[in-house]
Structure 1
Amino acid sequence: MKQLLLYILLLTTISLTASFSVVAGEKVSFNKEWKFIKETSTLDYKTVSNLSFDATNWEAVTLPHTANIEPLVVNNQWQGIAWYRKTFSFDETKKDKKFFVEFEGAMNSAEVWVNGQFVKKHIGGYLPFVFDISPYITFGKENCIVVRLDNNDSAVTGPKPLKILDFNTFGGLYRNAWLMIKEPLHITNAILENKVAGGGIFVTYPEVSDKKAVIAIQTDIKNQYNSSKNITIVQELRFKNKLVSRIKSELILVKSNESHTSQQSITLKNPKLWNTNTPHLYTLITKVMDGKKSIDKEVTKIGIKHIGFAGRDFYLNGEKRYLRGVNRHQEYPYIGYALSKNAEVRDAIKIKNAGFDVVRLSHYPHSPSFMDACDSLGLLTLDAILGWQYYKPTTEFRNQIFQTARDLIRRDRNHASVIAWEVSLNETKMPLEFRQKLSTIAHEEYPTKQSFSAGWMNEGYDIYLQARQHRILHPEAREEWKGPYFVSEYGDWEYYSKNAGLNQHQLDKTTRYETSSRQARGFGEKRLLMQAYNVQEALNDNLSTEAFGDGYWVMFDYNRGYHDDLELSGISDLFRIEKFAYYFYQSQRTPTKQIPVTLKIASYWTDKSPLSVKVYSNCDEVAFYLNNKLVAKQKPDQDKKAINLPHPPFTFQLNKFEKGTLKAIGYIDGKVVETAIVKTPESVDHLVIEIDESEVPLAKNTKDVVFAYIKVVDKNGTLVPNYNKEIELKIKGNISLMNKNGIITEAGIGTAVLQFQSLKEGLQLQATSDNGRLKGSYQLDVK
């Protein structure tokens, strides 16, 4: 966790650097002071780019920004043309510098003009694009950058049209923008250079053990001076801010308007290896030196690890591992993809705390902030290109997919968390030669023995990703495959669809829905327990196969472009509130110094609660009490649906409901290690407001988005889960409430989505419900 706090501090430091008065080699935020409008009548770039253009009726926005605030259930997502406009200036002293702009994500087709001159067109909304604005800017005067976005369905990028798509793509400049200021001789950008396995900094690990590690560092330099230059490249490796190695190249001659790629290596004795429990990160500082002067610098966080397979078994740093994982969609309620950096980190923490060691980034590249968080937390990633049930046999489409595969790897190749490149169009029938080309690209772009391609079809890739429902329906596909095998999705569709291979076709629609894994928190304990039982059964089944890991579908509930309801198979809801299944997964971890004990009573204990009470725990033994009377002290369940689990749940049978207190006491090796209590809720009394920081403090001076959970409780502070009325919220401070549909409680909790640019004025919340009878408040003072 200390490493995470250092990472968060780094985020804050970067975010505070907003001035353009910086030295060459710096990367500063380009997020603030944009103007935005959705096109209702045709706009012309020449008019919008003109410095005299009146944009007073455009909305002032800060990135990340969504093009449209959507309702909670998004079945008619806005699509159209959106414009962003920003003015900026540089003083005359910067004339000899080079200026580059990077957009981390722009949905979906972007065109850029600077001072009325066309600069770049980029297609694809999930990967960054970078462009040189140096030829277009003037110094000592105001400049104007204009971006036109089109998020309509695209036959070139896919996936299939939104009206039949199983997720939403949203819109806007929804990730960060950066301004990079460089000397004419500088370290290049891998995306901009578009070189195979080249450009920028590329770090690989030819030799890794706990005794010795060899770190190979490739640095790409470009000289845009009018004359040749002699430089040296210095590599400094730090661990927890302590210098552990420093190397310097020989003198390098870089000719005018040419590039040079330098190869260096550092050998470490007794390296701190990166793994899921101790995600040690080193800081690599690459400096380009002109004599004693540093003219460019890049900072790269790296983790030293070795991944490989022996047959079908996966090994991390020589240790055989089963990777328990989950899929994630990156959306937030109302604001779509426009998460703050801190929100991305909070999501990663929630996934890690749920007991997962790997996350499949379905079905597109997730943000750099999320990738950084995975590196810091020890979350492995299956890194995916965009693709879902869509293939077009045109040169334009195929080349677009090939390029996105290259750009994905160039963006993420230095991340410690990546174990495989899912260069596959998910659930899409692709020609074999197309699959083979994508796999070849993965190996070209990451040409080491630790490079693995992955795809959902059983030919053409290094790793076969198969959903459990496909395994049930088509066992021959798995039987034919002899390589590494990963269960990419499970626990949802096989319990929901009529044609997923189980017995749903024999059930009426109501029963099928009630026994599926798609359960809202408001559906009640019985149905939430059904979801938890489904995932238990499915995980137990996965553990009987030769798979080296799996990914439950899905971590958080999410929207589907075509459907009138949320997809509810998440083990947390769209507001990131846990369901019972969350604690089942959390209990599958064996307690260590790093991993805490889990002890969760899956009951609200009301007169409607099931009398068969589940306790999710990683303890050896649990004693269960009702009103301080021992019901039983027992070992975990040992039925056929639990036999393969590391830590099966405990089931306690009660004869009748008796108002009062349930208590579970957890034992490990005969010693008490944890106690859990659930009390019968009494009548509603007041509201309690909790801010979901998830170990990440609210950003004080930069944009952030956070959930405020408004809990309806009795006089003892016990949640009242059957309350479902609307909540009114008054806010004091420079805070925006993003809830388009108001705040409705579900299972006793209403959630406000709060977005802010700064907390300089503090934060005050006043919540009321039931015509003002229920009240609650929250106050945060910022000094």
Structure 2
Amino acid sequence: IRLAEFRGKDGFWLNGKPFVQLVGANRHQDFAYVGNALPNSQQWRDAKRLRDAGCTIIRVAHYPQDPSFMDACDELGMFVIVATPGWQYWNKDVKFGELVHQNTREMIRRDRNHPSVLMWEPILNETRYPLDFALKALEITKEEFPYPGRPVAAADVHSAGVKEHYDVVYGWPGDDEKADKPEQCIFTREFGENVDDWYAHNNNNRASRSWGERPLLIQALSLAKSYDEMYRTTGQFIGGTQWHPFDHQRGYHPDPYWGGIYDAFRQKKYAYEMFRSQSPASLRHPLTECGPMVFIAHEMSQFSDKDVVIFSNCDSIRLSIYDGTKSWTQPVVHAKGHMPNAPVVFENVWDFWEARGYSYTQKNWQKVNMVAEGIINGKVVCTQKKMPSRRSTKLRLYADTQKVNLVADGSDFIVIVAEVTDDSGNVRRLAKENIVFTVEGEGQIIGDATIGANPRAIEFGSAPLLVRSTRKAGKIKVKAHVQFEGTQAPTAAELEFESVPAELPFCYDEKYCTSQETSSSTPKTGLSKDTTKGKVQLTEEERQRVLDEVERQQTEFGIEK
């Protein structure tokens, strides 16, 4: 039982106490290769990954998501904003608005008993809708969730009827300092985007994991700046959600979205560690990653920066290099009105030529290491050690299960990751091998060479694989080797694990058809044969009109902040 209150200029209160700030992320239920076809286990794992990153609130974008994701948010203790389906489109036909309202009713009825739900978003995202639509949406929300005094509906502050009637408004840091500020609490629905323009979408907070160390660091520091702004408040501004924590193929731009703190396979980026470092070191949670932490955002390579950036939630950091030959200590800044734990920058620490002297001249390469120690109340509470990777000699496999077993239901899957390492187990971030995977036993590989799934190219030291269960529980053995083997190639690796029986009986029979049968069958699309062969082509004028409309919508809703 909990009491959640939005007290306007006094901010958000939980169980009679000010909550400080609600900071989290938006979430699409999209995964590499399989799109939206996530099994319940991956819905749960995604919620856990967000909780691990320190997210306290999730805005589901822009549609109600699988009930298993909502269940996971209940279990893990996260708040959720549930949004009505729709984005940047309005149809003046009366029936269109009626259907949107019907969606809202069904959405609230489905999810209103989830304790994780904190707010409803009963309007269309980034869309110019009329006043009567906004007022009807609010009326429906209160009808379906009829609890007096409980704030329930949120929408953009400058949309029709919102500032005058809604319970919480979407805005930006600093909006609570303006002369014409709203009376309600203010929340940022999407923070962290810094695109140059809405045609190119070049952006310093978007970095493919494959681009390597420097882009990942720039992304993390860019998101840190945006994260920091979530704490600029008079009390009325209560936080925001990052757009977006998982890389995905978005559809509204030809490039994938690379702004995630995880990639599409849920491999962590440096930005994850920045988010994670904002959780209090004192936090204890039975299911998620928490407690004191320190992370060195540096690979000690020949291309690495001289400065070393460290993310931590401790009081101070001691950084040592070359087995303690050099050492520095700096505080982790906890400034009021800023993010809880600012990144710590140690300047002019790394010099490749100095490190080369130990390795090449003194034959003492083991001494080339870097150790970061997190200190709280004068005591070392966490440590990380890094060394530059030497030649690639081994492959290493691990399963990203998030402590949830693979279920033998024929649809569940987990991510297996192959890493290229040196003899000491240091990941070779600059490796360029292709990895060939095979699976034995009760598992199947999702994807093949036609989509680059198998063989899979190494990116930033690793190659992910999706392994799906069969309908029979049992052992699964995954093997990995480099595509072009030789006497000096990294040695192969194996990983064995077991799937567990499905709890529920199957309600269908499987029937497999050959590839010839599949290709010869004609899909019932309702289109003529000639139409299905071709692609829809826009004229240059039509294409430009669509792009201009997207740019207008994005700009009007302030996403450039």
TM-score in terms of structure 2 length: 0.78
- Is 2:185 the counterpart of 1:484? yes
In the alignment, what sits opposite 1:397? 96
Displacement of 1:737 in angstroms is 1.6
Give the counterpart letter for 1:489 in structure 2: E
User: Which segments of 5 or more consecutive residues in structure 1 lack a partner in the other structure?
Assistant: 1-303, 501-508
| Aligned residue in 1 for 2:469 | 756
1:339-396: CA deviation from partner (whole Å, max 9, x where unpaired): 1111111000000000110011011111100000000000110111111101111122
Shift of 1:716: 1.1
**TM alignment of 1:317-396, pairs within 5 A:** 317-321=15-19, 322-396=21-95
Aligned to 1:416: 115
Return the letter of the residue paired with 2:374: G
Residue among 320, 332, 340 paired with 1:636: 332
> Rg larger in 1 or in 2?
1
Which residue in 2 is equivalent to 1:645?
339
Contact 1:442/1:451 (CA < 8 Å) preserved in 2?
A: no
CA 625–426 in structure 1, closer or farther in 2 if over 3 Å, else same: same
Gaps of at least 5 residues in structure 2 are 285-289, 357-367, 501-561
The alignment yields a C-alpha RMSD, in angstroms, of 2.3
Q: Does 1:779 align with 2:496?
A: yes
- Other-structure match for 1:464: 169
Aligned to 1:250: none
Q: Which amino acid counterpart does residue 482 of structure 1 have in structure 2?
A: E
> Does the 8 Å CA contact 1:525/1:610 hold for their aligned counterparts?
no
| Aligned partner of 2:452 among 714, 728, 741 | 741
Relative distance call for 1:464 and 1:451 in structure 2 (3 A) is: closer
The secondary structure found in structure 1 opposite 2:237 is coil
Q: Is the 8 A contact 1:443 1:451 kept in 2?
A: no
Give 1:451 deviation, angstroms. 4.3
1:661 aligns with 2:350: no
Distance 1:454 1:714 in 2: 52
* Contact kept? 2:54, 2:275, Cα under 8 Å: yes
- Match for residue 437 of structure 1 among 136, 144, 149: 136
**Aligned-pair CA distance for 1:442:** 0.6
Structure 2 residue 300 is the aligned partner of structure 1 residue 612: no
Shift of 1:463: 1.2
CA contact (8 A) 2:55 2:78 kept: yes
Equivalence for 1:521:
209
- Aligned partners of 1:609, 1:484: CA distance in 2, in Å? 43
Deviation string 1:511-561 (CA, Å, 9 cap, x unpaired) is x94x61110112122111111111111122221134212101111011122
What do residues 385-418 of structure 1 show as CA deviations (whole Å, max 9, x unaligned)? 1111011111221111001100011000110100
Instruction: Tell me, in whole angstroms, the C-alpha distance in 1 between the residues paired with 2:27 and 2:345.
Output: 30
1:752 to 1:522, Cα distance in 2 relative to 1, 3 A: same
Q: Which residue of 2 aligns with 1:534?
A: 222
Return the letter of the residue paired with 1:376.
Answer: E
- The one of 301, 310, 334 aligned to 2:7: 310
Distance of 1:398 and 1:443 partners within structure 2: 18
Letter in 1 for 2:190: E
Report the Cα distance in structure 2 between the residues aligned to 1:614 and 1:628, rounded to whole angstroms.
Answer: 19
Pairing 1:565–2:278 present? no
* Alpha-carbon separation, structure 2, partners of 1:617 and 1:478: 37
Deviations 1:207-245 (A, max 9, x none): xxxxxxxxxxxxxxxxxxxxxxxxxxxxxxxxxxxxxxx
Deviation at 1:700, TM superposition (A): 4.0
Code of the aligned partner of 2:16: G
Equivalent-residue separation in structure 2 for 1:342 and 1:389 (angstroms): 31
Question: What residue identity is the alignment partner of 2:291?
Answer: P
User: In 1, Cα distance between the equivalents of 2:156 and 2:220?
Assistant: 26
Q: Secondary structure at the match of 1:438?
A: helix
Shift of 1:733: 2.1
Partner of 1:41: none
Question: Structure 1 pair 337/498, CA: closer, same or farther in 2 (3 Å)?
Answer: closer
Matched residue SS, 2:136: helix
Residues 131-210 of structure 1 mapped to structure 2, 5 A cutoff:
none
The answer to whether structure 1 residue 453 and structure 2 residue 147 are counterparts is no
Partner of 2:97, secondary structure, is helix
Q: Summarize deviations over 1:146-202 as a string: whole Å, max 9, x none.
A: xxxxxxxxxxxxxxxxxxxxxxxxxxxxxxxxxxxxxxxxxxxxxxxxxxxxxxxxx
More helix by share: 2
Q: Distance in 1 between matches of 2:265 and 2:240?
A: 24
Question: What is the identity percentage for the equivalent residue pairs of Structure 1 and Structure 2?
Answer: 30
Q: Deviations over 1:403-444 (max 9, x none)?
A: 110001100011010000011211101111111111111100
Partner of 1:436, secondary structure, is helix
Q: 1:558 to 1:543 in 2, by over 3 A?
A: same
Are the equivalent residues in 2 in contact too, given 1:621–1:668 (CA < 8 A)?
A: yes
Q: Which moved more, 1:373-382 or 1:532-541?
A: 532-541
Whole-angstrom distance in 2 between the partners of 1:421 and 1:332:
25
Closer/same/farther in 2, CA of residues 751 and 347 from structure 1, 3 Å limit: same
1:727 aligns with 2:427: no
The equivalent of 2:401 in structure 1 is 693
The answer on whether the counterparts of 2:308 and 2:350 sit within 8 Å (CA) in structure 1 is: no
Give the secondary-structure state (helix, strand or coil) at the position aligned to 2:71.
helix
Counterpart code for 2:4: I
Distance in 2 between the 1:362 and 1:655 partners? 41
Alignment CA distance shift 1:485-1:593 (3 Å): closer
Whole-Å separation in 1 of the counterparts to 2:332 and 2:461: 31
Structure 1 stretches (4+) deviating beyond 6 angstroms? Answer: 474-478
CA gap 1:712/1:446 in 2 versus in 1, 3 angstroms: same
Letter in structure 2 aligned against 1:455 = A
Instruction: For 1:771, give the aligned amino acid.
Output: F
Aligned residues: 461
Counterpart of 1:596 in structure 2: which amino acid?
G
Aligned to 2:518: none
Q: Residue in 1 aligned with 2:550?
A: none
The code of the aligned residue for 2:461 comes to: G
Determine the structure 2 residue equivalent to 1:3.
none
Tell me the residue number matched to 2:321.
626
State how far apart, in whole Å, the 2-side matches of 1:401 and 1:771 are: 55
SS in 2 for 1:488: strand
Q: For 1:548, what is the secondary structure of its paired residue?
A: strand
Q: Is the 8 A contact 2:311 2:344 kept in 1?
A: yes
Give the SS at the match of 2:407: coil
Contact 1:424 1:456 in 2 (8 A): no
769-778 vs 660-669, which moves further = 769-778
Distance 1:593 1:571 in 2: 21
- 2: distance between equivalents of 1:334 and 1:770? 21
Counterpart residue identity of residue 679, structure 1: M
SS at match of 2:81: strand
